[in-house]
Structure 1
Amino acid sequence: MFQAQVKQRDAFFDNAKYLAIVLVAVAHAWEPLKEDSRILEGVYHVVYAFHMPAFIIISGYFSRSFDMRPDRLKRLVTGVAVPYLIFETAYPLFKRVVADDPGQDISLLDPWYLTWFLVALFVWRLTTPLWNLVRWPLPLALGIAMLASVSPSIGEDLDLQRVLQFLPYFVLGLCMKPEHFQMVRRRSVRILAVPVFTAALAVGWWTVPRMGTGWFFHRDAAQQMGAPWWVGPVMVLALFGCSLLLTACFFAWVPGRQMWFTALGAGTLYGYLLHGFLVKAGDYRGWFEPDWLHRPFGQILVSALAAAAVTLLCTKPVRRAFRFAMEPKMAWAFRQDAAQGARERERAAEKAGEKAAAEATEKSLEKAPLG
């Protein structure tokens, strides 16, 4: 029997996306609890130093082939822009109902909670052809991030501070090749990652009273953080270096083989956007207020529940239920691209030809005399 070879997804990247989104959800669940524990806030600093950079680097890596071809622009609209509009509306409405806050406004220009990433991804991906064109994309992106860190006049519209300050990680992903990921997955790097993370946790504990968590969010200029302007570029470079080191260690520990959670890596955007409703519901309803949750056992329990919840939100049943919001087809909204139609007919003809050839070969083998 002849079977068509199907291009397999790389388990490493699906594993990395799943583990990164678990860290995102767990860190969000820590926010109401960390003020009472210096250890937890130190771990929070460490996790925030690399979990979004890791996710953004992978996003950039898989955006390398993006161009202005109509079918790719269509996927950008249906898979990024439309979910932004839906969730940017849904989150404030959710607060109105659950928190009994009728004054909560809906603003498409002011990303709410988690939706900033969709704005950023839309902008970054649209500019991908430019980054693929320039000679030194990463230094240029770092320069833009440094300038943004001293520009409070940028304001809060579309969370452009985050778009610009996280830009270098996306551009780095665009510049990376498969061999770069292979380098950090070597056994020697996995071993070195142990003392690096140990030292990072110690530094994270030390920074708690000395460094605000706002620096890890990349959503404000230095002046808005109460620091001199020149601290902004210094912090951009320092955090970029620390984030890359910890991200490399994180990638080193990501398994490259098929795991029970590998298939969930395809649904991480679902988990990312949907878990925010659970975290915010807990915040609005006072679920995090009991004293016992602020002790070690309670913090561990909250972490486990957050990890389990985001895991569930990445599963196929949830993805099927929310596909209308996350991956709408919207064929009615787009004109038929003649070139795309021709490509689809050509691929269909090729598949039909391959199938016919395989069937003919199989029949000839059946008729051939046994040796």
Structure 2
Amino acid sequence: MVGENSLETRGETFFLNLRFMLIITVFAGNAIEPLINKMSGIHGLYMWIFSFHMPLFVLVTGYFARKSLAGTTGRKMLLQIGLQYLIFQSLYSALDISLFHVSNIQHSIFAPYLLLWFLASHACWRLLMLGMSRWSITAKLLFAVTAGVAVGYLQLDGVWFSISRTFVYLPFFIIGYHFSFETFVKLYQKYIKIFAAAASILLLAVMAAWGAGFPFGWLYGSMTYMQLDANVWYAGVYRLGLYGLQIVASLAFLGLVPYGASRMTDWGRRTLYVFLLHGFIVRLAAVSGIYTYIGNAAGAVVLLLTAVLFTVLLAQPSVKRLFHPLVEPSVDWMITLQRAALRRTL
């Protein structure tokens, strides 16, 4: 029993470390996006980040969801995700219209604002997992991969309701939910872990050298085949190939993640704050005109270091204390209203 608890603690520590490392890549990826067509090295770094960071973030979310999927806790989580979505969808849209004056964005409650797709999809993944609760792992994965390929054939904009990313990344949520840390630790012994880490660095070098012509739309997961100009019957094969790339890139990146607890582990407990708040900083930087002054490697390095610094700052306990009502709003009042309504109907 002690060994099981120790293994569970080690697994939580590992995934908190991974979660913080991933939120750094999220912030960094969004920060360097305006530079990807100006610098080949940045283009390669951006492609490397997108080859694993969303699949792994979904996997981590699935891993932590297994403690709060069903029952009262699961219902509260769904309500909170919905409330978070409404709050930040309204805030980002209002600021885009009034302050940032950003065009070419669908300001609709049914079209998640940029990074907020993750909240909409997270709620859907939880509901889908509840619906598949009696299925075997194999059946869940077969359905998820089939749906991830099939959703691309829809003749619509995949952004609406986050329908494309919900099904494209569903396999990774299922893998995370059923993830066996014990098996992972047995596999990722010292030399395997070193090999995986080296493979991740090698993949970065390869993408920097030869990834210039790769269409990013495939890595985003938000577009249907119609939007990707892949109007052929076998377009789904491309997505299967992309799944292969994402799995390889993800397994390689896991070699870089430490097992031991550190300050980074604590920061990993507050990545939600970084995720929901960093978009304001990125948007402010974009409209400030600062990118016109970044034209060389030194400027790009400073930008990346600044993104890491802001990630650490937003993961501090003081930020949580200040923004807790906004980022993790209480839903007790909603549950009280539900119960009252139920009593009236009975």
Same fold (TM over 0.5): yes
Q: What is the deviation of 1:270?
A: 0.9
Provide closer, same or farther for how the CA distance between residues 191 and 68 of structure 1 changes in structure 2, counting only shifts above 3 A. Answer: closer
Write the distance in 2 (CA, Å) between the matches of 1:148 and 1:102. Answer: 27
The sequence identity of aligned pairs, in percent, is 26
Equivalent of 2:267, from 253, 264, 267?
A: 264
Q: Which runs of 5+ in 1 are unaligned?
A: 339-371
Aligned equivalent of 2:53: 51
Aligned equivalent of 1:170: 173
Provide closer, same or farther for how the CA distance between residues 34 and 65 of structure 1 changes in structure 2, counting only shifts above 3 A. Answer: same
Aligned equivalent of 1:128: 129
Aligned length: 331
Aligned equivalent of 1:74: 76
Equivalent of 2:161, from 155, 158, 161?
A: 158
Is the 8 Å Cα contact of residues 76 and 331 (structure 2) preserved in structure 1? no
Is the 8 Å Cα contact of residues 140 and 174 (structure 2) preserved in structure 1? yes
Provide closer, same or farther for how the CA distance between residues 101 and 130 of structure 1 changes in structure 2, counting only shifts above 3 A. Answer: closer
Equivalent of 1:283, from 281, 286, 301?
A: 286
Aligned equivalent of 2:239: 236
Is the 8 Å Cα contact of residues 55 and 169 (structure 2) preserved in structure 1? yes
5 Å-filtered alignment, 1:1-371, equals 10-78=12-80, 80-100=81-101, 106-135=107-136, 136-153=139-156, 155-290=158-293, 293-335=294-336
Is the 8 Å Cα contact of residues 15 and 60 (structure 2) preserved in structure 1? yes
Q: What is the deviation of 1:309?
A: 0.5
Is the 8 Å Cα contact of residues 49 and 243 (structure 1) preserved in structure 2? yes
Q: What TM-score comes out, normalization by structure 1 length?
A: 0.82
Is the 8 Å Cα contact of residues 66 and 128 (structure 1) preserved in structure 2? no
Q: What secondary structure, in the 3-state scheme, does the structure 2 residue paired with 1:35 have? A: coil
Q: Which runs of 5+ in 2 are unaligned?
A: 340-346
CA RMSD of aligned residues (A): 2.5
Q: What is the deviation of 1:278?
A: 0.6
Write the distance in 1 (CA, Å) between the matches of 2:253 and 2:245. Answer: 12
Is the 8 Å Cα contact of residues 98 and 284 (structure 1) preserved in structure 2? no
Q: What secondary structure, in the 3-state scheme, does the structure 2 residue paired with 1:276 have? A: helix
- The superposition leaves residues 104-127 of structure 1 with CA deviations (integer Å, 9 ceiling, x where unpaired) of 874211111110000000000112
Q: What is the deviation of 1:184?
A: 5.0
Write the distance in 2 (CA, Å) between the matches of 1:114 and 1:22. Answer: 14
Write the distance in 2 (CA, Å) between the matches of 1:140 and 1:276. Answer: 33
* Corresponding letter in the other structure for 1:49: S
Aligned equivalent of 2:343: none
Is the 8 Å Cα contact of residues 82 and 325 (structure 1) preserved in structure 2? no
- The superposition leaves residues 216-237 of structure 1 with CA deviations (integer Å, 9 ceiling, x where unpaired) of 0011112211123345322221
Is the 8 Å Cα contact of residues 184 and 252 (structure 1) preserved in structure 2? no
Is the 8 Å Cα contact of residues 41 and 208 (structure 2) preserved in structure 1? yes
Write the distance in 2 (CA, Å) between the matches of 1:232 and 1:165. Answer: 14
Provide closer, same or farther for how the CA distance between residues 28 and 104 of structure 1 changes in structure 2, counting only shifts above 3 A. Answer: closer
Write the distance in 2 (CA, Å) between the matches of 1:106 and 1:71. Answer: 31
Is the 8 Å Cα contact of residues 111 and 159 (structure 1) preserved in structure 2? yes
Q: What TM-score comes out, normalization by structure 2 length?
A: 0.88
Is the 8 Å Cα contact of residues 27 and 47 (structure 1) preserved in structure 2? yes
